[in-house]
Structure 1
Amino acid sequence: MNWSLAAYSVLAWAAQPLLKRKLRKRAQAEPGYAEAVPERFGHYTPPHFGADGKGQWVWVHAVSLGETRAAALLITELRAALPGMRLLLTNGTATGRAQGRKLLQPGDVQVWQPWDSRKAVRRFLKQFQPAIGVLMETEVWPNLVAGCHQAGVPLVLANARLNAKSQAGAQRWPSLFLPCYAALKAVWAQSEQDAQRLRSLGAPVRAVLGNLKFDVQPDAGLLAQGTAWRAASPRPVVIMASSREGEEEQWIAQWVGRKFHGVAGQCQWLIVPRHPQRFEEVHALLESAGLSVARRSQWGSSLPPMDVDVWLGDSLGEMPLYYAASHVGLLGGSFEPLGGQNLIEAAACACPMVLGPHTFNFAQASQNACEAGAAFRVLDMEQGVQLAAALARDAQGLDRARHAALEFAQSHRGAAKATAQAIAAIVCLKPARTP
């Protein structure tokens, strides 16, 4: 018996009341967390739910919004490679679930990711009996992997990444995590650095296929709308994209401290918080600093007001619009020790980014973008504001950076198709059931 897994399982079981309380609290700000809560513990209504797809389910797990967007690219290619498949999509966050709902076709099913307790995992696998499980990026859970191994469900990790901090954490508990990674059927890594870290944990890395997110095709309508905003603005537009806790305060300090009041005031700032539950908080924070703010949710299809200090991007699913509206941007999550957010979508929209010192979640993509001239590294928010504002007013330098960003995004495509073909080589779908 693996005593580490047994102890982990006891803790996961004991934590269920805490999870339910957390979901109730989260639901106050995001009602989606109150939806179908029993699914998180492996209870489904009606009892036969999903039975008609047993042996045909291609199960894809994408925990949050970013992973779900990447999964969308893979799912399109999987449908082409596996014509008989039915999609079983699981998510862990309300934003991921809302985005994932758009990916469903008739006959597909979406449920919550089962809580990583033995019983919840066992009920999930018995209910659906998937032909294969595809975990996106980092979602390796001990009981989930062990349950699939015992049930004979091949489980793979696609678009896999592992930063040094997570690697060190897993290595501190080798008896729990090394068997977990070793039990995966296959792993396809984003970069060679990710592959090396995953191999150190015993993961069966088959290949380095690149990052699925390079295959994104921004919505043409949103790009056109954003371009119209940018053309209408009398000042160059600078976005702080997917900002996280503490970063808006850092930015405000530059403004209120008047170090960059002049240079910052020459730009139209667009701030888009990473998490929707922070929209109200960030709005209040900006106004308390004496800044005039216009919220995206209030101007609809009209052009944004041009006489305010900040546009606040308080909407979901419009990042291509925001990037297309911007001349240059600051990368959220990189000015606090949070690992940075994804810069690939910005590059695909021809928006060069200024990165803070913390990009360990996307280390290889960030390094490659800087080498290509599609992104620029700074030490702190002070340098970031200064560089972004200066680049936004440098017509020739900005033009070079925008072309470099677009070329960078286009030159790394192809991971979605390659990953789908690798998955198709493993899975064996049963014939579709007839009524």
Structure 2
Amino acid sequence: MRLLYSGLFYLAVPFILARLSWRSIKAPAYRRRWAERFGLYSVPEDSGGIWVHAVSVGEAEAAFPLIRLLAERHPTSPVLVTTTTPTGSARVRAVLGSSVQHVYLPYDLPGGVERFLTHFRPHLAVVMETEIWPNLFRACGARRIPLAIVNARLSERSARGYGRLPGLTRDCLSSVGLIAAQTQADADRFIQIGAKPETVCVTGNIKFDLNQPEGWAEDAAQLRLHLFGGRLVLIAGSTHEGEDLPVLVAFAAARQQFRDLALVIAPRHPERFNAVEALCGAQGFRVARRSQGVPLGDADVFLLDTLGELKQFYAVSDLAFVGGSLVPVGGHNMLEPASAGVPALFGPHLFNFLEVSRSLLEAGGGIKVQDGRELGQAVIELLAAPHRRAQIGSQARQFVEQGRGALQRVADRLESLLTETRLRSND
């Protein structure tokens, strides 16, 4: 089955490259560093380091505290961080800089995988969340590289997909020494699709362990005053195509009662910045762009067209809509506004954050809406009730505080995996 998978993957390569070329029309970074996607690297060879894979921006943000903790515990081990997307790559370089080595993970083709592992020779492989690659995992097993999936999550839909290929999935997961799942439901699904029960544990979600720098609240207050003065601020973070118009309609409805309301809109993908600005203009809104470095002034919409500032802008806002949830993307991280004490609103499509969203709603720290009309109603109701808004924000922050601790548990499990691997090697 794995040979068939590899053969089909090789046949798909021309179409994958064509897609990269198509995406590069709007995002030129997609046409760069293609050699890395086939395991060919210009950086020096390495040996014996810790390798962490985070597919894109969301996984990278979750991985940063873990990477720092692992580097602190293993100061003599070099750290390699791989991503798949240019936005993830840019975020790794911006946050971690030269403290780590960074390349793209190659496609899951036998030759590329072998070249990658030969080039870097990691002594620990850590994969974030949901990435499962048959050739890569099998090669790690063959080389006796301890392999872990951490902050692991598996939706019912994904489990059904993997369940259609039980032999391939079971063989793939046989090389994994640790699956540190976010919830018991995630752990059960991994076992259901073929993971060995003794390798699966529940450690919680490390996204609760947000690391806010000292003085961040004061910095956020100053930024808000500088950019928005005394205006109310609604932020729509990580929006996808199909969500911007409902957000703008909701904003327009709220503006009928709250004339000083400002909207910050942060598209998830940089290639959409210009299109979102054009959409705002077509709806009659004046736009200021963060990259221009000027306050909102007399404009209506502040386009957050930079990377890495979303968490800070959640903290400067009165209300937050978290995107990827009005369209079937699966949602994005509502813990970021919650940790800042900002009420989080989100749509019905939450399969990537099912447990988090459910628990946040139960804690009274979030509000789910079905469409743009309900979003507008919720915004109006919360802006009209400052005390209720503050209570929801306080409950959201408390929910995040109570969920902390997964980071240390994951790091401890990784230490145990390393110890067990060394003991087996010495037998």
Question: Letter of the aligned partner of 2:270 in structure 1?
Answer: P
SS of alignment partner, residue 425 of structure 1? helix
Q: In structure 2, what is the equivalent of residue 36 of structure 1?
A: 33
Matches within 5 A, 1:19-418: 19-45=16-42, 49-50=44-45, 53-54=46-47, 56-102=48-94, 104=96, 108-204=100-196, 205-220=199-214, 223-231=217-225, 232-254=228-250, 262-263=256-257, 265=259, 267-298=261-292, 300=293, 302-305=294-297, 307-418=298-409
Deviation at 1:105, TM superposition (A): 7.0
The alpha carbon displacement at 1:192 in A equals: 1.4
Per the alignment, residue 433 of structure 1 pairs with none
Distance across 2 between alignment mates of 1:184 and 1:374: 36
Task: Determine the C-alpha separation between the residues in 1 that align with 2:212 and 2:145.
Answer: 34
Is the 8 Å Cα contact of residues 226 and 323 (structure 1) preserved in structure 2? no
Q: Mean Cα displacement is larger for which, 136-145 or 227-236?
A: 227-236
User: Unaligned regions of 5+ residues in structure 1, if any?
Assistant: 431-435
Q: 1:255 deviation in Å?
A: 6.0
Cα pair distance change 1:98/1:105, threshold 3 Å:
closer
Kindly state the Cα deviation for residue 223 of structure 1 after the two structures are TM-superposed.
4.2
Q: Using the TM superposition, give the Cα deviation of residue 264 of structure 1 relative to its aligned residue in structure 2, in angstroms.
A: 6.6
8 Å CA contact retained: 1:219, 1:320:
no
Cα separation, partners in 2 of 1:385 and 1:117, compared to 1, 3 Å = same
Q: For residue 424 of structure 1, report the CA deviation from its aligned partner.
A: 1.7
Q: 2-side partners of 1:227 and 1:385: how far apart?
A: 25
Query: Tell me, what secondary structure is at the counterpart of 2:264?
Result: strand
Residue 9 of structure 2 corresponds to 12
| Kept in 2: contact 1:294–1:308 (CA 8 A) | yes
CA distance in 1, matches of 2:270, 2:119: 33
Specify the SS of the correspondent of 1:426.
helix
- How many Å separate the matches in 2 of 1:12 and 1:265? 54
Comparing 381-390 and 173-182, the one that deviates more: 173-182
* Deviation at residue 198 of structure 1 after TM alignment: 1.2
| Residue identity opposite 2:209 in structure 1 | D
CA 1:386 to 1:229, structure 2 compared with 1: closer, same or farther past 3 Å? farther
> For 1:226 and 1:81, how far apart are their aligned partners in 2?
31
Distance in 1 of aligned mates of 2:267 and 2:99: 35
For residues 365 and 269 of structure 1, what CA distance do their matches in structure 2 show? 25
Question: For residues 255 and 327 of structure 1, what CA distance do their matches in structure 2 show?
Answer: 13
Contact between 2:191 and 2:200, CA under 8 Å: does it hold in 1?
no
SS in 2 for 1:135: strand
SS of equivalent to 1:15: helix
Gaps of 5+ in 2: 423-427
Matching residue's letter, 2:26: A
Could you tell me whether the CA contact under 8 Å between 2:249 and 2:372 is conserved in 1? no
For 1:266 and 1:304, how far apart are their aligned partners in 2?
Answer: 12
Q: Is the 8 A contact 2:140 2:175 kept in 1?
A: no
CA distance in 2, matches of 1:201, 1:365: 23
Partner of 2:263: helix, strand, or coil?
strand
Aligned counterparts of 1:261 and 1:224: Cα–Cα separation in 2: 28
Please give the TM-score of this superposition, normalised by the length of structure 2. 0.91
CA distance in 1, matches of 2:344, 2:264: 14
Determine if contact 1:78/1:424 at 8 Å carries over to the other structure.
no
Does 1 or 2 have the higher relative contact order (CA < 8 Å, sep 6+)?
1
Q: 1:377 to 1:103 in 2, by over 3 A?
A: closer
Cα deviation per residue 1:84-115 (whole Å; 9 max; x = unaligned)? 32111111011111121245576742111011
Evaluate the alpha carbon distance shift between residue 206 and residue 417 of structure 1 in structure 2; reply closer, same or farther with a 3 A threshold. same
Instruction: Please report the TM-score for the alignment, with normalisation by the length of structure 1.
Output: 0.90
- Relative distance call for 1:276 and 1:264 in structure 2 (3 A) is farther
Whole-angstrom CA distance in 2 between matches of 1:9 and 1:265: 58
Q: Which amino acid aligns with 1:272?
A: A
Deviation string, structure 1 residues 170-203 (Cα, Å, up to 9, x no partner): 1122222232223311100111121111111122
Whether the 8 Å contact between 2:187 and 2:200 is mirrored in structure 1 is no
Question: C-alpha root-mean-square deviation of aligned residues, in Å?
Answer: 2.2
Distance in 2 between the 1:293 and 1:221 partners? 30
The alpha-carbon deviation at position 211 of structure 1 amounts to: 1.1
| Residues 188 and 206, structure 1, Cα contact 8 Å, conserved in 2 | yes
**Once the 2 structures are TM-superposed, how far is the Cα of residue 150 of structure 1 from its aligned partner?**
1.8
- 1:37 counterpart letter in structure 2: W
CA distance in 2 between partners of 1:23 and 1:110 (Å): 20
1:222 CA drift (Å): 5.7
C-alpha distance in structure 1 between counterparts of 2:388 and 2:116, whole Å? 54
Q: Which residue of 1 aligns with 2:416?
A: 425
User: Residues 255 and 112 from structure 1, CA distance in 2 versus in 1: closer, same or farther, beyond 3 angstroms?
Assistant: closer
